[in-house]
Chain A
Amino acid sequence: MTRLRSVLHADLDAFFVAVECVLNPRLKGRPVVVGGAPEKRGVVAAASYEARSFGIHSAMPMAQAFRLCPDLVRVSGSHAMYSRASRAVFEILGNFTPIVEKVSVDEAYLDMTGTNLVVGRTLDAAEKMRREVRERLRLDLTIGSSQNRLVSKVASAFAKPQGLFDVRPGQEARFLAPLPVKTLPGVGPVTEEKLLGFNLPTLGSLANTETCFLKERFGSYGASLRRRARGEDETPVLPPWERPQEKSIGHEETFPEDTGDDDFLHAKLQALLSAATRRLRKRALLARKVTIRLRWADFVTVSRDFTLPLATDHDGELLKPALELLHRMQTRRTLVRLLGVRLSGLCRGFWQGSLHEVQGSPGRSLVQALDSIRDRYGDSSVQTGEAVRLPPR
């Protein structure tokens, strides 16, 4: 099967300890931890594989670690040195693809799609990456490879230490099926406990569960859980220049008086979306996820969200699904006190419209014209027909 995308997840093995072993080779093969002194209530920041075999793990109190392994070697650690080593590793990774997303000092995603003419087959390139990091820096890199970020992340965890695991295209769901649910990124102890309570111990059992069952128990996260358990993930790998500073952009408003007027709420939603997308455009950002927050007069608050297939900064594309979502959220006969909109899943870029754009839908030039009028004469200088229902500011 042809690979649609090619994404690597590269993760340095026991990074802090590995750097310490490079600096002091006598530490190699011994149970070593990096962290604060036990008498100062220090905790383990990183542990070598030898230390881990005693049950020692990061965030464990150092005193407890020494109780588990009296021969433990502790080093205080030098974060300046770790940063230096990390920069050197990322310099090597950057030679294979320009699209490297640094997740932390020792972890990155690489989008290798379309690089084979330059660096050869992805797996050969991954092998070369590991070799170069090993030979030049004496550090071990584990790599997971697949068609998306999610599966590559699980694959690299699967391959540790010093491994390269490639999930064949089309086999993502089969690969994940026997793994425990906790191996899925984002499934923490609370979700794991809930899933086990529903007799869903493996990702295969989760993937085969009806979406409506999961939605009832987990809200929109339920549908996402099922998709992810099947190995479906379209999240792009974002290089530094495409990564926004903000995680989300939102607007919300508490009304002067609680309301049950649907037309007013629709107009308000449109105005909030318009303001939020205008902020997106000013920052050259696009959003994929829209969250609507509704608070009723009795202070009961609900949030629901939807995700678009493609990121956008155009409120025209968000309005219809947002109105539908708002409609589905209005399940109570209580007046509404607050309405809010939050745009997330941000990435850098400009909306380009669709090749199959619906005839008559407002295009880029109209949006730009409206933005420039509002910049010059104020937000209320030009409004949509629905917004006349809103009180003047």
Chain B
Amino acid sequence: MKAKPFLKYARTGGKAAQFTGGSFVDDDSSTTFFLSLHQPRADSEGFQNGDLLAVSSRPDAESGDLVVWWTGASTTLALARVQEDLSLAAVAGFASPVLDSEPVPRVRGVVVGRLRRAEGVS
């Protein structure tokens, strides 16, 4: 069976932490937070295993945006792209959200950037 990609809340060191008061926290009140990407294979988005995704939690995603969606539990965090009809299409090997499921999937934030550090640097 192929290993599935997943996202995990992460903290970052260096200047990124200083700029944001070092508090990229895993709650809804933060404006930007980091997720580390764990994926076994390369994907069309150019992401790599171990990349840190910077996610803005402002709930104003638009068509074409890459978003993180979830159903409320951190184990359900996944990537998708907002389509023209504002539906979510799965990307980078993540599962598609099932809209009529309970709890209802919702957008956790918009991916604004990607941080990749040299090996061995946190």
Where the two chains meet, the residues of A that have a C-beta atom closer than 8 Å to any C-beta of B are 1, 121, 123-124, 127, 130, 134, 140, 155, 157-168, 170-171, 174-175, 177-180, 183, 204
Minimum CB–CB distance from A144 to chain B (whole Å) comes to: 9
Minimum CB–CB distance from A147 to chain B (whole Å) comes to: 12
Whether B118 lies near A178 (C-beta < 8 A) is no
Query: A123: which B residues are within 8 A, CB to CB?
Result: 46
Whether A178 lies near B113 (C-beta < 8 A) is no
Query: Which 10 residue pairs spanning A and B have beta carbons closest together?
Result: A162-B118, A171-B112, A178-B31, A175-B112, A174-B56, A160-B15, A167-B113, A162-B121, A164-B116, A174-B112
Whether B113 lies near A166 (C-beta < 8 A) is yes
Query: Which residue on chain B has the smallest CB distance to residue A164?
Result: B116
**Interface status of B115 (Cβ within 8 A of chain A):** yes
Whether A140 lies near B118 (C-beta < 8 A) is yes
Whether B19 lies near A158 (C-beta < 8 A) is yes
Whether B116 lies near A168 (C-beta < 8 A) is no
SS class of chain A's interface: helix, strand, loop or mixed? Answer: mixed
Supply 19 A–B pairs (Cβ within 8 Å), ascending by A. Answer: A140-B118, A159-B15, A159-B115, A161-B121, A163-B121, A165-B113, A168-B66, A168-B112, A168-B113, A171-B56, A171-B111, A174-B58, A174-B112, A175-B112, A177-B32, A177-B56, A178-B32, A178-B56, A179-B19
Whether A158 lies near B111 (C-beta < 8 A) is no
Q: How far is the CA of A155 from the CA of B65 in the complex (A)?
A: 19
Query: A166: which B residues are within 8 A, CB to CB?
Result: 113-114
Query: Which residue on chain B has the smallest CB distance to residue A144?
Result: B113
Whether B65 lies near A170 (C-beta < 8 A) is yes
Q: How far is the CA of A19 from the CA of B75 in the complex (A)?
A: 44
**Interface status of B87 (Cβ within 8 A of chain A):** no
Contact flag A178-B20 (CB < 8 Å), given A158-B15, A159-B14, A161-B121: yes
C-beta contact mask, B50-73 vs A, less than 8 Å → 1, else 0? 000010101000001110000000
Query: B114: which A residues are within 8 A, CB to CB?
Result: 165-166, 168
Interface size class of B (residues with CB under 8 A): 20 to 34
Query: Which residue on chain A has the smallest CB distance to residue B12?
Result: A163
Q: How far is the CA of A112 from the CA of B31 in the complex (A)?
A: 31
Minimum CB–CB distance from B109 to chain A (whole Å) comes to: 9
Query: B117: which A residues are within 8 A, CB to CB?
Result: 159, 162-164
Whether B15 lies near A174 (C-beta < 8 A) is no
Query: B88: which A residues are within 8 A, CB to CB?
Result: none
Interface residues of B in 60-118 (CB under 8 A from A): 64-66, 110-118
Query: B56: which A residues are within 8 A, CB to CB?
Result: 171, 174-175, 177-178
Minimum CB–CB distance from A312 to chain B (whole Å) comes to: 34
Q: Which of B46, B66, B113 touches A121 (beta carbons < 8 Å)?
A: B46
Query: B16: which A residues are within 8 A, CB to CB?
Result: 158-159, 163, 165
Query: A165: which B residues are within 8 A, CB to CB?
Result: 16, 54, 113-116
Q: How far is the CA of A134 from the CA of B118 in the complex (A)?
A: 10
Query: Which residue on chain B has the smallest CB distance to residue A182?
Result: B19
Query: B112: which A residues are within 8 A, CB to CB?
Result: 167-168, 171, 174-175
